[in-house]
Amino acid sequence: MRQPYHSGHWPNTARSTPGMGKHSYITLPALVAPSSVSIVGFEDGAVVEVVAGTSLTLECLVADARPAPEAVWYRGEAQVDPALQEDQVEASTQPRRWSVRSQLVVTAEPEDDGKRIKCQAIHTTLVGASEPFASSITLSVLHPPGDPVITGYEQGEVLRAGARRTLTCHVSGGKPRPWVLWYREGRLLDDNTTSTGPGTVVNSLEVAVTAGEDGAVYVCSVSNDLMQEPLTANVTFTVYYAPSSVTILGPSQAQDGANLALSCVTSTSNPPASLSWIVAGKVIDNARSIVMHEDEGGFVTTSNLTDYLVRSDGIMEITVECRAVNPAIDKVVRDVRTIDITRAAGVPVFEGDLKREYMAGSIVDLTCTSVGGHPPPAIRIYKGEEEIPTSLLLEANISRATAEIEVTPVDNGVKVTCEVSNPATLQPLTISKRLTILFPPWEVTGSAFPNTVEAGTMVNLTCESSSSVPPANLTWRSDGTRIEGAAVRRNQAAFGGTSTM
């Protein structure tokens, strides 16, 4: 608070002048202007750095004036309320002169940056002066920036894949000048900070909008040397995009008279894609779809086609198309598959009479045919468990496989099998025949018991043939004369033949 002037500031002296009678007069001291005005501790015009929110105590000294001077403070162009200053009048070192010390506590605010704090001397001698008698400092207020503001995208706005957007982060204030950084998912994208005017800085980031940007979070981070933690603002993109692909899954063949069993799956899209089926040029209305949200973002749509009954009507294939439409984007994505219509082949038939008898060592022609079937069937011929190499010929609607085998006694009674199969047969169709092979005995053995006999005694003679088909006939002769009455016995022998004894 200002201190009142002391009455001793203005002493007066009464005197009598001889010859003029007794009179009293007052001698007034001369007015003396202040010798200086200063803000203690600072040069006039000094720039004083201070952190916003902190207090700065300023002391102004107006020195060596008669009568005692006064001081007023200005904050910028506005005079400070005198009630906020505390003044103290003190005697000067000069005789009959006084000085005043005025203290003002200034709490720096960000808007004080660059503002001049002035102490002006007030004294009778200074009235009408062309320039104020004053001293001043300029505040440099260190302060954090304001909250960042992002323009170029409104939260919730729908973008479409293929577009481009420029995000601009605006920041006002801040000293020292803040730096503005762009991040995406924690990764620094851009640190190019520029000024657009006094106290304003920006950083602009151009973004190519793709499907991968859906759900992407872009963060503007602002900091300066005063801040322990940056200020941030962010936007999360919402991007509409069609699926990049549609895939039909399932077999490439369908049996005539059976239902198709196909699935159609999209890649991710946003919003979910709608699926439709077109089979043989006709739209299928009863296929149902399932939509699932992916953890990485976007939706996958799946549709199963199971109720379409395949009827060939004489055709060999049908075209199946799955179409995906994103309701927010005028784009159709499709997959097309050609499905072969399978028909079972006819039962196999051996051509020729395999019931006839074949001589060992001869060549047997085996021909097996099957009528119809799509695709044409595979035909295999087996002798026992061994597959025989065949030649396959397709004529009109008949599939014919031929093979040759050279038969031996071992092949007597062997089973010859023709097997027919194609995708329309769950189990191969078969026909089997057994071969009859004629072969002679390969040896005849004889014996006598006892080996040595006397004339006129009996001896047993035995003659035995190896296996043969048909059974062998044995004839006995002695000195060119045929012996009759021999007992004949036949037994089963090797290769399904008979041995004769």
- Other Cβ atoms within 10 Å of 79 Cβ, number: 12
And the tokens for 178?
């803040």
Q: What pLDDT score does 41 carry?
A: 95
Cα(233)–Cα(321) distance, integer angstroms? 47
Q: How many angstroms separate the CA atoms of 8 and 404, rounded?
A: 151
Please give the pLDDT value at position 24. 56
Residues 148, 168: Cα–Cα separation, whole Å? 10
The pLDDT assigned to 14 comes to 39
Place of tokens 């960000």: 110
DSSP E strands, 76-113: 78-79, 85-91, 98-107
Q: Residue 171's pLDDT is what? A: 96
Query: 70 to each of 82, 122, 443, how far by Cα in Å?
Result: 11, 5, 157
DSSP assigned state of 472:
P
- 375 exposure class (CB count in 10 Å sphere: 0-12, 13-18, 19+): middle
Q: What is the pLDDT of residue 327?
A: 79
Instruction: Give per-residue pLDDT as tens, 378-418.
Output: 999 999 999 999 999 999 889 999 999 999 999 999 999 99
Each residue's pLDDT tens digit in the chain (501 positions)? Answer: 444 433 334 443 334 444 444 555 565 578 999 999 999 999 999 999 999 999 999 999 999 999 999 999 999 999 999 999 999 999 999 999 999 999 999 999 999 999 999 999 999 999 988 999 999 999 999 999 999 999 999 998 999 998 999 999 999 999 999 999 999 989 999 999 998 888 899 999 999 999 999 999 999 999 999 899 999 999 999 999 999 999 999 998 888 888 888 999 999 999 999 999 999 889 988 888 999 999 888 999 999 998 888 886 778 888 999 999 987 778 899 999 998 888 889 999 999 888 899 999 999 999 999 998 888 999 999 999 999 999 999 998 899 999 999 999 999 999 999 999 998 888 999 999 999 999 999 999 988 788 787 787 887 888 899 999 999 888 888 888 888 878 889 999 899 989 988
Instruction: Report the distance separating Cα 501 and Cα 173, nearest Å.
Output: 127
Only one residue has tokens 């577009």, namely: 163
Q: Six-digit token pair at 396?
A: 């009109």
Count of alpha carbons within 13 Å of 189, Cβ hemisphere only?
Answer: 16
DSSP 414: -
Q: What is the pLDDT of residues 9-49, one digit of tens each?
A: 444 333 444 444 455 556 557 899 999 999 999 999 999 99
- pLDDT recorded at residue 254: 85
pLDDT confidence of residue 245:
93
3-state secondary structure of 317: strand
C-alpha gyration radius of the chain: 60
The model's pTM is 0.62
Helix, strand or coil for residue 213? Answer: helix
